[in-house]
Structure 1
Amino acid sequence: MEKDKSKALNRSRSTVRARERSVGSVKDDLPYEITIAILGGPQVGKSAIASQFLWEGFVSDYKPTVEEFNWVEFEMTLGGRLMLQIIDSSGSRDFIAMRDLYMRTADAFIIVFSVDDPLSFEEAKSIIQDIKSQRRSKTPIILLANKKDLFGERSDWRVKGIERYAINEGIRLMECTAKRREEVDMAFRELLEELRETRHLQATELKKRRQSMPTTRTRPGELINQDFDKKKHTCAIS
């Protein structure tokens, strides 16, 4: 297992969406921007996963999300910057139009389901099918099985047939509990690796420079472990 890595989160506000460009020279003033959308049914842990990756905090109480946007800026060791925008979407079908917009515009997706809820897996499969039907080219997708801490063994999960489905669809299956930062980080690292291959990003280590405060229509739950500014984080894609 990879070593646990820490995270420096010097937070700042930003509402400006940088124009997409290739990462190359240190002289580039604008970063290369990538948008990752976290999609899934209600109460599968999307906000908890986003919070764990962004702030190393586990959301202890559930409050339905409408939409939440965050960005994280990475500094590449060979020069250039990468702006990663993360969309924490609503799981409610009342906001299906917003989800369809994310499907058309995001660069990559983390599709979340809960291992104790078979219906959430069916919803995840439906989302993946919708993404594939709307996108002409292959889009990086991670299918993320959350809440594995509820069971001792994978064979005990209430959701069955996951591995076969992922193989048939040609997508990467990963598992996590949103309570463990290293497992959440691994999912994002794998997705960034897929993006590196499709977008020809530098095969190098990314160092987090700063990130935004959340822009949201709902108030997020209280976070456990809010010591944001004392840690440093690197995200290696090679």
Structure 2
Amino acid sequence: MAVAPARARSDYDYLIKLLLIGDSGVGKSCLLLRFSDDTFTTSFITTIGIDFKIRTIELDGKRIKLQIWDTAGQERFRTITTAYYRGAMGILLVYDVTDESSFNNIRNWMKNIEQHASDNVNKILVGNKADMDESKRAVPTAKGQALADEYGIKFFETSAKTNLNVESVFLSIAKDIKQRLTETDTKAEASRSLNKMLLHLLLQPRNQLAVVTFRSMIALFSRAPVFNLCHLFHLLRLKSEIVLMLLLRTSRKSH
């Protein structure tokens, strides 16, 4: 559950877990350091297995605690890192715009997500090191955008060195996840309310059901964000019961 437990609500409203994946050397750790600590180092950072940072932000009046996991890109750590896919709510796929092989491997990283992550995980494509001279660029911006469009996900080019779009990419995926979690909570609450009303109505004596009840339920369902087949089945069954009841009453009066 994304909503924080009651004892921690004073600290944050949502806990969102993010995962950075991509080939070794694409700048995942530098992106994380820039976002979490607003620092940058020119030294090569080798992540051993997995590491994480925490930063709390505010979105739409809500405090969001971001727990961001940085994974090692090397194959020898793959068993360790894939274990963290399942708990991730959002995944940032990072490549180096000066390294075409890191871009081509995004498809393999996407396959890992399909195998190990939850079905509804949010994803975003990140082309890092965009500050590099154009003569060193191996992956055009349009090519990165085309791949993102193919997967139906957002795309950003970033630079941990100059802080280009670093804040934007993390805030973008956090906002999308918060919206998804909010919609899920709203739908779940509406579904519980509808099911409770249906149960209450179906437990009533048949002679207390009336057409007005059916009409009021139609109005309620039409406003609900989770009007699904289960509710439609109950609604149609209720309608048939009301019609049958009225026919029986009419038949009795005629006799």
Give CA deviations for 1:198-219 in whole Å, capped at 9, x if unaligned.
Answer: 1118xxxxxxxxxxxxxxxxxx
Aligned AA (2:102): S
Query: Does the alignment pair 1:123 with 2:105?
Result: yes
Contact 2:131 2:162 (8 Å CA) reproduced = no
Which among 47, 55, 59 is matched to residue 72 of structure 1?
55
Give the CA deviation at 1:30.
6.5
- Partner residue in 2 for 1:60: 42
Q: Which of 134, 138, 142 is residue 158 of structure 1 equivalent to?
A: 138
Shift of 1:135: 3.9
Q: Alignment length, in residue pairs?
A: 179
What is the DSSP-based 3-state SS (H/G/I as helix, E as strand, rest coil) of the residue aligned with 2:126? strand
Structure with bigger strand share is 1
Check 1:28–1:126 CA distance in 2 against 1; reply closer, same or farther (3 A cut).
Answer: same
Amino acid at match of 1:115: V
Q: CA deviation at 1:82?
A: 2.5
Q: Distance in 2 between matches of 1:136 and 1:61?
A: 34
Compare CA radii of gyration and give the structure with the larger one.
2
Does 2:163 match 1:185?
Answer: no
Deviation at 1:90, TM superposition (A): 0.7
Alpha-carbon displacement from aligned partner over 1:77-107 (angstroms, at most 9, x marks no partner): 746x432101111111110012211222211
1:144-202: CA deviation from partner (whole Å, max 9, x where unpaired):
0011111338xx7312532222111111111011112251001111111211221118x
Partner of 1:139: 121
Aligned residue in 1 for 2:32: 50
Distance in structure 1 (CA, Å) of the matches to 2:2 and 2:131:
40
Equivalent residue for 2:85, pick from 103, 115, 118:
103
The one-letter code of the counterpart of 2:111 is Q
CA contact (8 A) 1:23 1:82 kept: no
- Alignment TM-score, normalising by the size of structure 1: 0.66
4+ aligned runs moved over 3 Å, structure 1: 23-31, 74-79, 133-136
Give the alignment partner of residue 173 of structure 1, picking from 155, 158, 164: 155
1:47–1:59 CA contact under 8 A, matched in 2: no
CA 1:162–1:73 in structure 2 vs 1: closer, same or farther (change >3 Å)?
closer
1:113: which partner in 2? 95
User: Is the counterpart of residue 28 in structure 1 residue 9 in structure 2?
Assistant: yes
- C-alpha distance in structure 1 between counterparts of 2:18 and 2:178, whole Å: 13
The SS at the match of 2:134 is coil
Matched letter for residue 22 of structure 1 = V
Q: Which runs of 5+ in 2 are unaligned?
A: 184-255
* Equivalent residue in structure 1 for 2:23, among 41, 53, 57: 41
In structure 1, the partner of 2:223 is none
The two structures have a TM-score, normalised by structure 2, of 0.62
What residue identity is the alignment partner of 2:26? V
Structure with the larger helix share: 2
Of structures 1 and 2, the one with the larger relative CO (CA 8 A, separation 6+) is 1
Shift of residue 137 of structure 1?
2.6
Deviation at 1:122, TM superposition (A): 2.0
RMSD, matched Cα? 2.7
Q: Secondary structure in 1 aligned to 2:105? A: helix
Whole-angstrom CA distance in 2 between matches of 1:145 and 1:105 = 24
Say which SS state the counterpart of residue 181 (structure 1) adopts. coil
Following TM superposition, by how much is the alpha carbon of 1:21 offset from its aligned partner in structure 2, in angstroms? 4.3
- After superposition, the Cα gap between the structure-2 partners of 1:192 and 1:41, relative to the gap in structure 1 and judged at 3 Å, is same
Aligned 8 A contact 2:95 2:102 in 1: yes
C-alpha spacing 1:193/1:82, structure 2 compared with 1 (3 Å):
closer
Q: Which runs of 5+ in 1 are unaligned?
A: 1-19, 202-238
| Distance in 2 of aligned mates of 1:27 and 1:40 | 33
